[in-house]
Amino acid sequence: MIRRLRVATLMVGLGVSVAAVAAAQGPDGAALFERECVRCHNGAAESRAPAVDVLRRRSPEAILASLTAGSMRPQGGRLDGAERRAVAEYLSGRALGGDVSGIGNARCRVNPPLALAGKPMWAGWSSASTNTRFQPAPQAGVTAADLPKLTLKWAFGFPDATSAWSQPTVAGGRLFVGSQNGTVYALDVQTGCVLWTYTAAGGVRTAPTFGSRPGSSAHALYFGDTGANVYAVDADSGELLWKRRVDGHPFARVTGTPTLHDGRLYVPISSLEETAANQPGYECCTFRGSLMALNARTGDVLWQTYTVGLPQVMGTNAAGTTLHGPSGVGIWSAPTIDVKRRIVYAATGNTYSGTAAAPTSDAIMAFDLATGVVKWTRQLTAGDIFGCRAGAPNCLEKVGPDFDFGTPVMLTTLADGRDLLVVAQKSGMAYALDPDREGRVLWEYRAGQGSIWGGIQWGAAVDREFAYLPVSDIRLDTPGGLHAVKLATGERAWYHAPPPLACGGGAGCSAALISAPSLIPGVLFSGSNDGALRAHSTTDGTVIWEFDTNREFLTVNGVRATGGSIQGPGPTIVGGMLFLNAGYGDHMGRAGNVLLALEVP
Ligand code: HEC
C-alpha cells in the first residue's frame, strides 16, 4: 500500500497527466503481485524465478514487455492490460513511459558499410560451428604473453537489465549483442558507440549469429528471444528481414544460439514449462522440444524434428487436473555442424512428464542436415522425469535429477586424425563419443557431483589435446573447480581448485563456474560466479591473469552499470580485444549489467 502511494506521488511530482494518475488508481499492483506472482517470486533458494529485489531493478517497461511478449507471457495472459501495467509499476516503483533505449550520447556519428576483408571474427555461440569455443591465434590477436598488458578500453551498460546474458559476436569491426530487455545492439568495437539497435519482442539471450544473407552480398544477424521468436536483421542497418514464431507453446523460448550453415539456420527450442508444473491446477505438460531448420533468406521452415512424440492424456492428478505426456526434452544449446558426416548434433534436456522418461532425454541426437531425420540417439542419463518438485501434485513418486545438457556438443579432431564428440552435462559428467559408431561412449569423466544448476551448466571447451570442464555445483557445499582431461584417454591432466573469492561474501558470492569458457592457444578464460574472469595456463591450470568485474564502471552510454556473477556466455576474443558480459541476477548469482571491452594496446 505504501509503495502504491509512492508511485502515485512520484507521478504527480513529475507532472504527468491527471488521466495517468487516475489509471494508477485502478488495479492494486501489490495485491496482484501477491495473488499472481509471489508463489514463484518468493526468493526461495530452490526457485528459478528472480527475487523481488532483483525485479525491482527492472524498469516498468521491461516488466510489462516480459508479461506481454517475453518469458512471463503465460502469467501476463491471466491479467488484463490495466492489471499488467499496475503490477509493473508496483514492482519497479516507477511510472511507465520512460526511455528504454539506453543509447544516451553514445550513438556513432557515422555508420560506414560493413567491411569484412581481412577482419577477424567470432560469429556465433562459439568461434566456429563445431562449438569448441577455441579461437585460433590469427583470429584472436591476443597471446598468453599479452595478458599482463590487457586493459579496459570501454564499458557499455545494458539499461533495465539485471543479467548480461548474451554471447557477444564480432565481425567487420562491429560487436553484436542481445540483452534482457530485448534490445539487440551493434557497437563499434573500438569505441563502443552505437551503430544501430533492434528491439525484439522478448529478451534476447542467444548470441546474434553473424553470416551472409543468402541471395545477396550483404550480411545478416540471426537470433532468438524468450518468446520463441527468431529474427534475421540486416547487419549494416538493423533493419528486420524476417521474423518467425518457431513454437506456439506459451512457455516455449529460444535459449540456445541458432547455428548458421550453408544458407540454413538451425534453431534449438526449449521451454520453461517446468516452472509452471508445480501449480496443482496446471495441466502438466504439453511442451516438446525440437530442432528446426529455417531457410536463412526467407525464414521458411525446411524441417522441424521433435524430440518426443505427441503428448497424450494420462489421467488426472489429486486436484483433478488432466495430466499429459510424454513431454519436455528441450534443446538448450547451440546445434553443432559436422560437415564431413552431413549431421547436425543437439544435446537434449530432461523429460517433463510421461509414464516413462523418453529415450531421447538427456541425450545426444544426430540429425541429417538436409532432412532432419534422426540418424542416432545416445542417451546418457535414463529415467530423468523432472517437471515438478517432490510432493507436488503433478509429480510422479520419484523425481528425476534434472540432468539436462545445457552445453552444446563439441566436435574436435585429435592429433591422430580421429574425430571426437565431447559433451558435458549438469550431472557433472563429461563424455567422449565416437561420431562414426552412433555416439558410442569412448570414455567418461566425473568432474562435479551434479545438481539442477550443474554440474557443468552452460559450456566447456576443447582444443586438440584436452577438454576443459568448469564445475558449477553451486547448490553443494564446495562449488567450483576446473578440470582438464586428456581427449585421447579421458584421464585427468590437471585440476585447479577454486581460488579465493573475488566477491566479498554474501548471497550469490560463490566460486561456482557456470559460464562457458573460451580458449586461445595456451590459455583458457573462465568466468566465475564470484565476478572474476581468470586466464588459466592450459599446461597446468595456473592462473596467469585475472580481471575483477565487481564494481561500477563508467559507461560510454551513460547507463549506470556494475559487473557481477558471470554466468551463461563467456568471453569473445577477436583481433587483439576481449569482450565480456558480467552480471547475472538469477540462479544464485549477483546482478550486474555491463559489457566490457579489453584490449592489448
Ligand atoms: C509459475 C511460476 C511464476 C509465476 C506465477 C510468475 N513468475 Fe515471473 N518468473 C518465473 C521464472 C522461473 C522466471 C525466470 C525466467 C527466465 O529465466 O527467463 C521469471 C522471470 C520474471 C521476470 C524477468 C523475465 C524477463 O523477461 O526479463 C519478470 C519481470 C517476472 N518474472 C515478473 C512476473 C510477474 C509480474 C508475475 C505475476 C504477474 C510473475 N512473474 C509470475 C516464474 C514465475
Give pLDDT, residue 24.
45
Torsion sign, CA atoms 390, 395, 400, 405? negative
Q: Check pocket membership of 392 for ligand 1, CB cut-off 6 A.
A: no
Q: What is the mean pLDDT of residues 252-280?
A: 93
Q: CA-CA distances (angstroms) from residue 30 to 3, 19, 38?
A: 8, 21, 10
Substitution site in 32, 39, 40 for ligand 1 pocket (most atoms within 8 Å of beta carbon): 40
Give pLDDT, residue 20.
43
Residue nearest (by alpha carbon) to ligand 1 atom 30? 72
Burial 254-266, CB ≥16 within 10 A → b, else e: bbbbbbbbeebbb
Give pLDDT, residue 565.
97
CA of 593 to the centre of ligand 1 (A): 19
State the cell numbers at 222. 540471426
Give the side-chain half-sphere CA count within 13 A for 267. 32
Give pLDDT, residue 74.
84
CA of 72 to the centre of ligand 1 (A): 5
Amino acid at 454: G
Q: Could you tell me the pLDDT band of residue 390, with boundaries at 50, 70 and 90?
A: low
For a pLDDT cut of 90, what percent of the chain falls above it?
73
Q: Check pocket membership of 253 for ligand 1, CB cut-off 6 A.
A: no
Q: Could you tell me the pLDDT band of residue 388, with boundaries at 50, 70 and 90?
A: low
8 A C-beta contact, residue 204 and residue 253? no
8 A C-beta contact, residue 577 and residue 524? no
Give pLDDT, residue 396.
67
Give pLDDT, residue 22.
39
Give pLDDT, residue 456.
97
Residue nearest (by alpha carbon) to ligand 1 atom 39? 37
- Encode pLDDT of 191-250 as tens digits: 999 999 999 988 999 999 999 999 888 999 999 999 999 999 999 999 999 999 999 999
Count of C-beta atoms within a 10 Å radius of residue 44: 11
Give pLDDT, residue 389.
60
8 A C-beta contact, residue 54 and residue 162? yes
Taking the C-alpha atoms of residue 187 and residue 198, their distance in angstroms, rounded to an integer, is: 12
What do you get for the CA distance between the two ends of the chain, in Å?
Answer: 54
Q: Could you tell me the pLDDT band of residue 65, with boundaries at 50, 70 and 90?
A: confident
Q: Check pocket membership of 60 for ligand 1, CB cut-off 6 A.
A: no
- Average pLDDT in the chain: 91
- Residue 54 pLDDT more than 90? no
Substitution site in 72, 73, 271, 402 for ligand 1 pocket (most atoms within 8 Å of beta carbon): 72
Taking the C-alpha atoms of residue 448 and residue 459, their distance in angstroms, rounded to an integer, is: 14
State the cell numbers at 324. 499429459
CA of 137 to the centre of ligand 1 (A): 42
Q: Within its chain, how far is the Cα of 96 from the centroid? A: 28
Give pLDDT, residue 507.
87
State the cell numbers at 551. 564494481
- Residue 251 pLDDT more than 60? yes
Q: What is the mean pLDDT of residues 423-439?
A: 98
The answer, yes or no, to whether the previous bond of 326 is cis (omega within 30 of 0) is yes
Question: Which residues touch 519 (CB under 8 Å, ≥6 apart)?
Answer: 132, 133, 134, 135, 461, 462, 463, 468, 525, 538
Q: What is the mean pLDDT of residues 525-536?
A: 98
Of 215 and 266, which is predicted with more confidence? 266
- Residue 336 pLDDT more than 60? yes
Q: What is the mean pLDDT of residues 462-481?
A: 95
Taking the C-alpha atoms of residue 545 and residue 285, their distance in angstroms, rounded to an integer, is: 47
Residue nearest (by alpha carbon) to ligand 1 atom 16? 71
Q: Which among 464, 430, 480 is positioned nearest to 538, based on CA atoms?
A: 464
Substitution site in 42, 55, 71, 251 for ligand 1 pocket (most atoms within 8 Å of beta carbon): 71
CA of 491 to the centre of ligand 1 (A): 42
Question: Which of the residue ranges 38-52, 153-167, 225-239 would you say has the lowest mean pLDDT?
Answer: 38-52
Residue nearest (by alpha carbon) to ligand 1 atom 19? 49
Give pLDDT, residue 397.
63
CA of 88 to the centre of ligand 1 (A): 12
- Encode pLDDT of 95-128 as tens digits: 887 667 688 889 999 999 998 988 999 999 999 9
Amino acid at 570: G
Q: Check pocket membership of 37 for ligand 1, CB cut-off 6 A.
A: yes
Of 148 and 277, which is predicted with more confidence? 148
- Residue 17 pLDDT more than 50? no
Question: Which residues touch 417 (CB under 8 Å, ≥6 apart)?
Answer: none
Q: Which among 207, 208, 230 is positioned nearest to 220, based on CA atoms?
A: 208
Residue nearest (by alpha carbon) to ligand 1 atom 31? 72
Residue nearest (by alpha carbon) to ligand 1 atom 14? 49
CA of 85 to the centre of ligand 1 (A): 15
- Residue 73 pLDDT more than 50? yes
CA of 71 to the centre of ligand 1 (A): 7
Q: What is the mean pLDDT of residues 137-156?
A: 97
- Angle, alpha carbons 35-39-49 (nearest 5°): 125
Give pLDDT, residue 3.
37
Give pLDDT, residue 11.
35
CA of 49 to the centre of ligand 1 (A): 6
Q: Check pocket membership of 36 for ligand 1, CB cut-off 6 A.
A: yes
Q: Could you tell me the pLDDT band of residue 6, with boundaries at 50, 70 and 90?
A: very low
8 A C-beta contact, residue 329 and residue 377? no
Ligand 1 atom nearest to 39, measured from its CA: 5
Of 530 and 82, which is predicted with more confidence? 530
Q: Check pocket membership of 55 for ligand 1, CB cut-off 6 A.
A: yes
Q: Which among 106, 110, 111 is positioned nearest to 193, based on CA atoms?
A: 106
Q: CA-based diameter of the chain, in Å?
A: 75
The answer, yes or no, to whether the previous bond of 480 is cis (omega within 30 of 0) is no
Taking the C-alpha atoms of residue 339 and residue 201, their distance in angstroms, rounded to an integer, is: 33
Q: Check pocket membership of 40 for ligand 1, CB cut-off 6 A.
A: yes
